[in-house]
Structure 1
Amino acid sequence: MTGSPTTSTHVLHAALIPAPALVDERRTLYRLAAEMFSPGTELSDNFADHPIVRYEIGKALAGHGDVDPALLIQVATMGVRDAGVLVASDPTAAEVLEAPLRIVAPPGVRPEPLTEADGERFESALHIIEEGVRLLEKFAPDMAEDLLAHVSMLAVLKRETSGGLVSASSRYVPGIVLIDEPTLPMEVAEALVHEGAHEKFFDLAIAREFLDESAEDADYFETSWSHAQWPLEQTFAAWHAYSCLAQFNLSVGSEQIGPDSLLVKARERADEIGEWLLKHESDLRADARWLLRGLAGDTVELRGEAAAQSQVDGVTLSSEISDDRHFCLLPDVRHKRAASGRVAVGRAARPPLVFWLDEDASWTLDQWRIDGEAKTLGQMLARAAEEWQVDPVTAAVRLRAALGSLLDFSIVGLLEEH
């Protein structure tokens, strides 16, 4: 796996799922979670995108407390300035952004955000950020559109407090990018590619088939340049970011780069990590393997075609799913449909369970939205064959598989026969 990839990162991302659709799926998941914790809560796009709102909902999903709608409103009113990306500007930013500042801080360091309270110093940084966004859009417009869709906020750290932290982001507080106080626009452009790639990955990881719980037990990757050891999730995230940086580096020409730039090292590091990932791809799920192979230069089929095939192959059919058995939607199930047609489902447990259904299971669950009545496979079969545009035999196999998965996840139940 050497040399430049044959397909651009933004092209492969879009083939997997276009950025607007991915953002919508992510918002759908957070909206579902918010409604589960606080019935009646409706998140606007701005609320659903806000990094601290997402952090609070993520904490609750992990079993650490509930969601307080009043707190969400409070954090979402923090002032920002538009510099091509939204920049935290409120004098209260240090308090509101406590979580990401703490999580990304090097040991013994307490970063402080630069805000409007710092007057001309903040305005100067804001101007450099604007120029950095323009550079990114000039050199790599498609990449800018692809990655910036996932950057909800940027916070600038005062240089004397950052501990040398060039740029950072965290999957625990997705959507926010933290950068050291910039001196060059190119530093900003590079940071937005680097951390924007991470933010893209965070959204892909929660909406698509990338990693599962077994990733925590997979082998660690050791870097040749620092001998740091990374778990699989961090390894994949780093490979993805270096791949984006390597592509960006091909576009920047003679533009002056920052002293801490990784651009000239990106291709070599992406290749090193990519070769290791290819040897460990059995630890990755389908979409992660597809993206890995696509950037490695392998010929890959469209994910939609592969997904449709996977819904039929290798399924285990339950003997309980006969044509005349009645199924009902269980009462503790909540679900929300994304614009893509995929359905996020939640179950009221402690902590709650939230997950995505595949396309066939999403369609099947949607049948209860029509009237909520108990249904049999036989009642749904004709509609499935017509809407899926397949023959009745294929439709029956896919519908049985979908009902089987809904039974396994305790989303639907069988009515007792009398």
Structure 2
Amino acid sequence: MGVGKVLNDVKPYLAMVLLQVGFAGMYIVAVASLKRGMSHFVLVVYRNLCATAVMAPFALWFERNARPRMTITIFLKIMGLAMLEPVLDQNLYYMGANLTSAGFASALINILPAVTFVMALVLRMEKVRLRSVHSQAKIAGTVLTVAGAVLMVLYHGPVVQFPWSKGQHHHDSAGGQGANSAAAAGGFLTGIITIVIACVCWSAFFVLQANTLKSYPAELSLTALICLMGSLMSGSVALVAERRNTQAWVIGFDTRLFTAVYAGIVCSGVAYYVQGIVSRQRGPVFVTAFNPLCMIITAVMGSIILKEEITLGSVIGAAIIVLGLYALIWGKSKDSVADVSASGGSKGASAAAAVELPITLAQPNGNGNCKHEVGSGRGVVFDVETPAANNGHY
């Protein structure tokens, strides 16, 4: 029992850490493809088509008896989710990363937890008691995360040489400075603006996703529908944007195809599903709190694969971000304990279900399933459903 409880407690953390590794890989291969001339509009279309093709069969099979009835309200929410993430966020982020760099873009996106935290507070999906130590930790962690990201943007300092990067930047230094100056003069500011807007769209996506799953608790189906609608909507945008360049749609068996498949399966299909599950249990702020890890992984991978420089400002900023990340996660973990304690009553099966990832197990009431609600008040309400014997879908 003790080991099982520990494993259930660790699941959300492990899932989010692995997702950040997946996102870091996507940032590297995406920037490499964009630098070689791939259209980000076309990349978004192919990415979501791949995600739809992979996730739809799983949704049709595993949630065939658990999928709620589609309503106009739910459909409009799905349209909003598709517009926020596949269309706006992905296109704007790829545009900004192409104008700056993979490391810089992943660093600037670290304002994501702060933006999501503020949105959740405004919508009363997140609760803060100023006299509570764990609430103060959440606020301090958010501030530290933003401060570290701002430091990385404003202060660069000398280049830090790591064992894997020694000697690889020296012969580029003169030409690299000229290229960086030209990029700063031409599109660096535009890149910053597009990444910030993308971050706001991504935060809104997490908040709306958590809200949608309350009325449509079918993570696989919701993921497939978001990717399908995102394919159609981003396809329309790409047809207009690339109407004079039909060659942009042609990709071969190279890094462009790998980027579309990898980003679609890992960073759209799997990511939407896992984030939806964790968001239902821990809230959207918990999901975004791990994003700073992606910046650190991307910076290291970028220095190895793309030969990007890591400056002293990036190292200091990363250290501050990690401190903020730990503070925010600690505050959220205390929230989870408080919610379980506040539920009272049964401390057996209900408490065990509260720490399980809320995989959709909804069946008609006639099948004998029971539904537990954990948490109340202004905090996030997490629905955890337990099946009758052998009636659930895993």
Do both proteins adopt the same fold according to a TM-score greater than 0.5, normalized to the shorter chain?
no
TM-score (norm 1): 0.24
Higher helix content, 1 or 2: 2
Relative CO higher for 1 or 2, CA cutoff 8 Å, sep ≥ 6? 2
Q: Whose radius of gyration is greater, 1 or 2?
A: 1
